[in-house]
Amino acid sequence: MTILPIPQDTVKIDTAVVLPYKFKDEPAFAYPNKKDSAKIYLKKPANIRTEVEYDPVTGEYNFVEKVGDINIRLPKTMTKKEFQKYDFDQSIQNYWRSQTKIKALESKGGLIPRLTVGGETFSKIFGSNTIDIRPQGYVEVSFGYQMNATENPSIPERMRKVPTFDFNQKIQMNVMGKIGDRMEMRVNYNTEATFDYENKMNLGYTGDEDQIIKKIEAGNVSLPLNGSLITGGSNLFGVKAEMQFGKLNLTTIFSQNKGETKVVNSEGGAQKKTFEIAASQYDANRHFFLAQYFRDHYNESLQHLPIINSGITVNKIEVWITNKSGNFKEARNILAFMDLAEHSANISNQIGKFAETTGLTYPETNFPFNGANGLYNEMISEYSGIRQ
């Protein structure tokens, strides 16, 4: 029997790696978050965070570096005065970094970089070879889904749940562009604009002093005039050109007027407006007869136009508009009767019968009047309280 010796534990020691350029780790009380301006060292991992804790007992600020909940370094402390200086320096550095990023973004042309078009022809026409377009604004898109459920046994099962989609978008965009040094583009678009003329688009070309074409505009243009005989326009959409032939200046415009002028006169707290409408402008299902008499004698009165053969002149008409704004401060209630002032042949309601309901007799005439039937007398006598 052979007894073998027990092997002894051995430890292998690696030789230390010697760096040609030695550097020390961050000292225990170095300046917190000090930036490496030389870019020699790698950035800190994302899981290492620095927290600032205020100690109300000592009045000092403690800087702690953690990975999770474990402190990886000794805390660094600052007095109140030192922390104010540190915070001020950090604010200045952050400000200049943000300004540098903005300038770098602007130098690249924003979202759309500047384009350079080669060739002398492009430069001669537009003044330079660069195209710069800068959009600004925001676009908001919202999408929703809504389910309406009705637990009604009388409704079929498939119709108890009604899904609806809600899609809404808001766009407020302002685009400024330059093509060379002579052509400019301005676009302003807002989906929540109150009026259409607030959304403007203009494309302009400006020539040199020695050129015949001084300026050409397309889109929203204006033609201001100093004289009072001929008034200019401001809300125009079209093409405008300014040219010069020696000492002669010529301005031409081809446009559409997208605005109107209206004058409203107020007297005694009410607005009064005068309308002049020719009888030949009658449109079916759009205009309405004031009484059956006017319908019965319509063709007869207008058979010799432009002379109107009618013995009735309407002096006053009140038009009432349905209140849709929810403002009831100056609202009034109205009650209309289609049988008022109508004769027996045109009465549709029993309360309007003149001889049968009231026992009164009224003169027969072709013209509408309050005494044509008993409705008016019924309202001012038996139902007089309805006006209150």
In Å, how far from its chain's centre is CA 289? 42
Per the CB < 8 A criterion, the answer to whether 324 and 342 are in contact is no
Q: How far is CA 254 from the centre of its chain?
A: 29
Quote the longest CA-to-CA distance of the chain: 155
> CA nearest 177: which of 218, 135, 122?
135
Strand partners, 172: 138, 190
- 182-212 core/surface letters (b: 16 or more CB in 10 A; e: else): bbbbebbeeeeeeeeeeebebbbbbbeeeee
The closest alpha carbon to 243, from 234, 233, 235, 253, belongs to 253
Beta bridge partners of 49: 66
Q: Let me know: does 348 contact 328? Beta carbons within 8 Å.
A: no
Contact 369, 362 (CB under 8 A): no
User: What is the chain's pLDDT, residue by residue, as a tens digit (388 residues)?
Assistant: 566 665 555 555 555 566 676 666 665 445 555 555 556 667 778 888 888 888 888 889 988 888 888 888 888 888 888 888 888 988 998 888 888 877 776 665 555 667 777 777 877 778 787 888 887 777 888 888 888 888 888 778 888 888 888 888 888 888 888 888 788 888 888 887 777 767 788 888 888 777 888 888 888 887 777 766 777 777 788 888 888 888 888 888 888 776 667 777 777 777 777 777 776 666 666 667 888 888 888 888 888 888 888 888 888 887 777 777 667 777 777 777 878 888 777 777 665 554 445 555 555 567 788 877 778 888 888 888 877 7
Contact criterion met (CB below 8 Å) for 33 and 50: yes
pLDDT computed for residue 305 by the predictor = 82
The letter for the amino acid at 376 is Y
CB 244 within 8 Å of CB 229: no
Q: Which two tokens stand for residue 56?
A: 């109300």
> Which DSSP category does 371 fall into?
G
Give percent above pLDDT 90 in the chain.
0
Is 241 within 8 Å of 266 (Cβ atoms)?
no
Which pLDDT does position 355 carry in this prediction?
41
Which among 314, 371, 368, 361 is positioned nearest to 380, based on CA atoms? Answer: 371
116-151 pLDDT, tens digit each: 777 778 777 787 878 888 877 778 888 888 888 888
How many angstroms separate the CA atoms of 13 and 4, rounded? Answer: 27
In the sheet that holds 161-179, the strands lie side by side as 115-116, 130-149, 161-179, 183-190, 200-206, 213-223, 233-245, 248-257
Contact 367, 342 (CB under 8 A): no
Q: Which of 140, 166, 162 shows the shortest CA–CA distance to 151?
A: 162
